[in-house]
Structure 1
Amino acid sequence: MKVVVIGCTHAGTAAVKSILKEAPGSEVVVFERNDNVSFLSCGIALYIGGVVKNAQELFYSSPEELSSLGATVNMEHDVTHIDHDNKTVTVKDLKTQEVYTETYDKLVLTTGSWPIVPPIPGIETENILLCKNYNQAQEIIARKDAVQKVVIVGGGYIGIELVEAFSESGKDVTLIDGLDRILNKYLDQEFTDVLEADLRSRGVTVALNQTVQEFKSTDGKVSSVVTPQGEYEADLVILCVGFRPNAQLAKDLVDTLPNGAIKVNDYMQTSDKDIYAAGDNVAVHYNPNGDHAYIPLATNAVRMGNLVGKNILENKVKYRGTQGTSGLYLFGFTIGSTGVNVASAANFGLDVDSVVLEDNYRPEFMPTTEKVLMKLVWEKGTNRIVGGQVISKYDITQSANTLSLAVQNKMTVEDLAYVDFFFQPHFDRPWNYLNLLAQAALDKIQSSQ
């Protein structure tokens, strides 16, 4: 069996390793149009902030490793066309410009995502950069020491992490976002209010509800960013306004969402049973509402890539779906979220209720403790847990994983209220704070009946 894998970041790397393990003797041919594989873009902010000293440490595999496992790895090769009737792909060698075709028995699309680049006047100006891959990270690093005024456009996870990295490096930082809150996909207002206040207290200019209209330049380099509400000086601008699926190859070939994200079944097969797909170019199975959604995360990509290999010979292991669980460390705050929040629930067709609770993570008789701000979101009528959020100066991020399991397994508020958690004063209270959160939710449900 010959398997062609197109794209080799997280999902592609996981798929190649899994296929070679699960289907020994298979011929695996990889085409990657970049000159590297497996770059952890989530580490770019850590690299900029000096936490990670060597960018090479952000790679967890290499073409050489995949080759040693038995794959034929073609770097800087771009697949331009798929002929699924004849089971061939057209490939261009970007170094020699040679164009040729390659046959396959099974095809794996792991082409990932690409940053959204809005059509704003002046966007081609020097020192306006994207933040996704290794080469872009190197560009940012090369320029950061020579600049002082940094503007980040986009208040999602990557944007916020860059704000922290540049602020900690002593730069004058401005954050611009077109929505009224930062991290709106992950957190409700009770949480974003805390974080926005903290950013402002550290001297970060937080410009929300503002869309960028123009980039101005001086001597060919960006000098300011213009919005309807003001003009912000800039020596360096980094765009972090979101991602789109890199799925043009699949257009009109397999079933997709309106945004182009590829739909797959429980075994990572597309509507063409011999074409598999995984990673940021794929629509995930979203457990809170049981439908498809586009949620590009490295964790999803690695799981999906692994499942390609598990199922390449026969359908054996089902995809469990995702809750979009994520964690963030920001200026001493540890933050975790999973599933829908109240603001996003309607977008997924869910009618929800919620409760917010603040409590100490461990008993007050201990020498120290920290407050934990928590929110639980459940579906009205069924009381099924569909989301949760936590924030504290104490590391409570593993609680997001606990809530993630609750969502995936369709636990109810009552299940979480009385689930068995251990008690030890070093770590928690006789009632774990998640028990208390769910009990507060039960009280609210009962009072409304």
Structure 2
Amino acid sequence: MKVVVIGCTHAGTAAIKNLKKLNPNAKITVFERNDNISFLSCGIALYIGGVVKYPKGLFYSSPEELFELGVDTRMKHDVTDVDVKNKKLKVRNLENNEEFEETYDKLIVTSGSWPIIPKIDGIGLKNILLCKNYNHANKIIEKSKSSKKVVVVGAGYIGVELVEAFKENGKEVVLVDAEKRILSKYFDKEFTDVAENTLKNNGVTIATNEKVLKFIGDNDNSRIVTKVITDKNEYEADLVIMCVGFVPNTKLFENQLETLPNGAIKVDRFMRTSNKDVMAAGDCCSVFYNPLQKEMYIPLATNAVRMGTLAGLNISENKFEHPGTQGTSGIKIYENNMAATGLTEESARSFGLDVESAIAVDNYRPEFMPTYESVTLKVIFDKKTRQILGAQLNSKFDLTQSINTLSVCIQNKMTIDDLAFLDFFFQPHYNKPWNFINLAGINSLK
């Protein structure tokens, strides 16, 4: 069996390793346009902030490792055209511009995503940078050495983590977002208020509900950005980082494979596309979202590695089914340990769902212990069926792993009532006789 893999970050690496383990005799060729693989982009802010001193630790595989597995690993090779019907593709070697054709029996598409580049006047000015891969991270670090005023556009996870990193490095930082709240995709207002106040108290300027209209550069020939103009204000800047989201990198497959409206390739629970000999995984494709019971685009590293693994295991036959995702995620904002899974109350209502929420606020362990911290847990559930649809958590003590428990509850279609009497251990070092997860369920009982 001759298998070609397009792209080799999280999903691609997982697919290759599992495919090779299950089919050791398979002939695998991977084409990757970059000079590195498996970079953990979620660690970019840690790298930029100096928490991670040695970037090698942000890679969990290498071209050399794949080569040792017997994989024909072609770095700096860009796939320029794919003919799905005839099972062939065109490739360009980016080092010498040589072009050639390749054929396959099975194709695994793990081409990932790319940052959205909005059409804003002045977007092409120097020192307006993207934040996605290892090369981006290095460029940001290089440029930030001589920068004093940084504007980050986009208040999702990456943007929020970056402003903290820049602030810790002594920069003046502004965070701009067109939404009314930061992190609004993941948390409801009672949680984002805490996050915003924390950032403000640490000197970050929060400019939410502001749309960027224009970037202005200096008057000489260097064309370096100097100002960010929004519909409400203007901010001086010598470095701008664009973090407004991602789009699937799937133009090669237009009109060849079924996609979502945004171009994400549709896959079934086995990672098979509309063509039985083409698998897809990771940020380039859809994933089944359990809270809404529908396919959605949710680019997360956790989704990518699971989907890539399944693509490798199922390439010959449908063996293992994807259980769906809750889009579970977490973030540390200074002293706040925050995590979320499933729908927020706001997003649930935007999808037309009739929901309620239960909130538990308690100290996570007994007050007779030498130290203890408050935790806030919010659980969103369907008003009629009482099925759990989402949850959010925040504490100055790291309790974020508890959100994984709520993720499992959503996946298994449990109700808010089920939470009340779930069996959790009690030990004063760790919790109370009524765990705060139990407490959320108890508070919702009628």
TM-score computed with the length of structure 1 as normaliser: 0.97
Rounded Cα–Cα distance in structure 2 between residues aligned with 1:167 and 1:253? 46
Rounded Cα–Cα distance in structure 2 between residues aligned with 1:70 and 1:405? 37
Rounded Cα–Cα distance in structure 2 between residues aligned with 1:114 and 1:409? 33
| Superposition deviation, residue 85 in structure 1 | 2.0
**1:94 maps onto 2:94 in alignment:** yes
Report the AA paired with residue 197 of structure 2.
A
Q: Can you list the C-alpha shifts for 1:127-182, whole angstroms capped at 9, x where unaligned?
A: 11000011111100111121111111000000000011011111111000000000
Match of 1:277 in 2: 280
| Superposition deviation, residue 56 in structure 1 | 2.0
Rounded Cα–Cα distance in structure 2 between residues aligned with 1:281 and 1:115? 12
SS of residue matched to 2:102:
strand
Rounded Cα–Cα distance in structure 2 between residues aligned with 1:104 and 1:79? 13
Match of 2:397 in 1: 394
| Superposition deviation, residue 317 in structure 1 | 0.5
Rounded Cα–Cα distance in structure 1 between residues aligned with 2:358 and 2:442? 10
Report the AA paired with residue 156 of structure 2.
G
Rounded Cα–Cα distance in structure 2 between residues aligned with 1:270 and 1:86? 16
Match of 2:153 in 1: 153
Match of 1:28 in 2: 28
Report the AA paired with residue 168 of structure 1.
E
SS of residue matched to 1:280:
helix
**1:341 maps onto 2:344 in alignment:** yes
Decide whether the 8 Å contact of 1:23 with 1:313 is kept in 2: no
* Paired residues for 1:133-282 under 5 Å: 133-218=133-218, 219=220, 220-282=223-285
Q: Can you list the C-alpha shifts for 1:231-273, whole angstroms capped at 9, x where unaligned?
A: 1111110000000111111211111100001111111000101
Rounded Cα–Cα distance in structure 2 between residues aligned with 1:200 and 1:32? 41
| Superposition deviation, residue 349 in structure 1 | 4.6
Decide whether the 8 Å contact of 1:376 with 1:441 is kept in 2: no
Rounded Cα–Cα distance in structure 2 between residues aligned with 1:392 and 1:229? 34
**1:331 maps onto 2:334 in alignment:** yes
- Aligned-pair Cα RMSD in Å: 0.9
Describe the shift of the 1:5–1:268 C-alpha distance in structure 2 as closer, same or farther (beyond 3 A).
same
Rounded Cα–Cα distance in structure 2 between residues aligned with 1:228 and 1:265? 42
| Superposition deviation, residue 440 in structure 1 | 1.1
Among candidates 304, 322, 326, match of residue 325 of structure 2: 322
SS of residue matched to 2:438:
helix
Rounded Cα–Cα distance in structure 2 between residues aligned with 1:116 and 1:84? 26
Aligned pair count reads 443
Match of 2:124 in 1: 124
Decide whether the 8 Å contact of 2:282 with 2:305 is kept in 1: yes
Q: Can you list the C-alpha shifts for 1:92-135, whole angstroms capped at 9, x where unaligned?
A: 11122222111111000000000000011111111110000111
SS of residue matched to 1:292:
strand
Query: Which moves more between the two structures, 25-34 or 341-350?
Result: 341-350
Describe the shift of the 1:349–1:81 C-alpha distance in structure 2 as closer, same or farther (beyond 3 A).
farther
Match of 2:40 in 1: 40
| Superposition deviation, residue 348 in structure 1 | 4.1
Match of 2:103 in 1: 103
| Superposition deviation, residue 428 in structure 1 | 0.5
SS of residue matched to 1:301:
helix
Match of 2:305 in 1: 302
Q: Can you list the C-alpha shifts for 1:379-414, whole angstroms capped at 9, x where unaligned?
A: 121111010000000001001101100111111111
Decide whether the 8 Å contact of 1:261 with 1:282 is kept in 2: yes
Rounded Cα–Cα distance in structure 2 between residues aligned with 1:287 and 1:139? 38
Rounded Cα–Cα distance in structure 1 between residues aligned with 2:190 and 2:85? 53
**1:365 maps onto 2:368 in alignment:** yes
Match of 2:7 in 1: 7
Rounded Cα–Cα distance in structure 1 between residues aligned with 2:150 and 2:118? 19
| Superposition deviation, residue 203 in structure 1 | 1.2
Rounded Cα–Cα distance in structure 2 between residues aligned with 1:441 and 1:226? 46
Among candidates 416, 423, 427, match of residue 420 of structure 1: 423
Match of 1:286 in 2: 289
Report the AA paired with residue 366 of structure 2.
P
Percent of matched pairs sharing the same residue = 58
* Unaligned stretches of 5+ residues in structure 1: none
Rounded Cα–Cα distance in structure 2 between residues aligned with 1:88 and 1:183? 42
Rounded Cα–Cα distance in structure 1 between residues aligned with 2:92 and 2:146? 38
Dislocated runs of 4+, deviation >6 Å: none
Rounded Cα–Cα distance in structure 1 between residues aligned with 2:364 and 2:98? 61
TM-score computed with the length of structure 2 as normaliser: 0.98
Match of 2:314 in 1: 311
Match of 1:440 in 2: 443
SS of residue matched to 1:16:
helix
Decide whether the 8 Å contact of 1:9 with 1:39 is kept in 2: yes
| Superposition deviation, residue 346 in structure 1 | 3.4
Decide whether the 8 Å contact of 1:289 with 1:350 is kept in 2: no
| Superposition deviation, residue 350 in structure 1 | 2.9
